[in-house]
Amino acid sequence: MFNRIKTWTVWCIKEATGSCAEVTRLLSQGMDQPLPWHVRCKIRVHFLICDLCQRYGRQIRFLREAMRKYPERLENSSDGNSPAVASPRALSPETKERLKQKLREQTN
């Protein structure tokens, strides 16, 4: 009997809060702009039944905080004063164009 109630409760919450794909989209959107209070509540309720979406939310918050805290590590500095971090290699123009084309295809 308890399993039936638990299953029904999870189903109701999922129906009310949307799919994991929708929640992850909203979490990403929330990084770019403030979400309305009812959407934030919807996400919080979804977290009650979904550990994976909750983990995704923590991961993107961590990445955002790291980017804000260490912006100098993102820049490609050759002055010798930057921390000992492997600098990212620049992409070739051909690779950049292929990436842009793939992004255009996916958005259309």
pLDDT digits (tens, 9 = 90+) for 35-62: 999 999 999 999 988 899 999 999 999 9
pLDDT bucket at 86, cuts 50 / 70 / 90? very low
Write down the domain spans for the chain: 1-72
Q: How much is the pTM?
A: 0.58
Q: What is the dihedral of CA 25, 26, 27, 31, to 10 degrees?
A: 100
Tokens 């949307």 correspond to 18
Around 1, how many Cα atoms within 13 Å sit in the side-chain half-sphere? 0
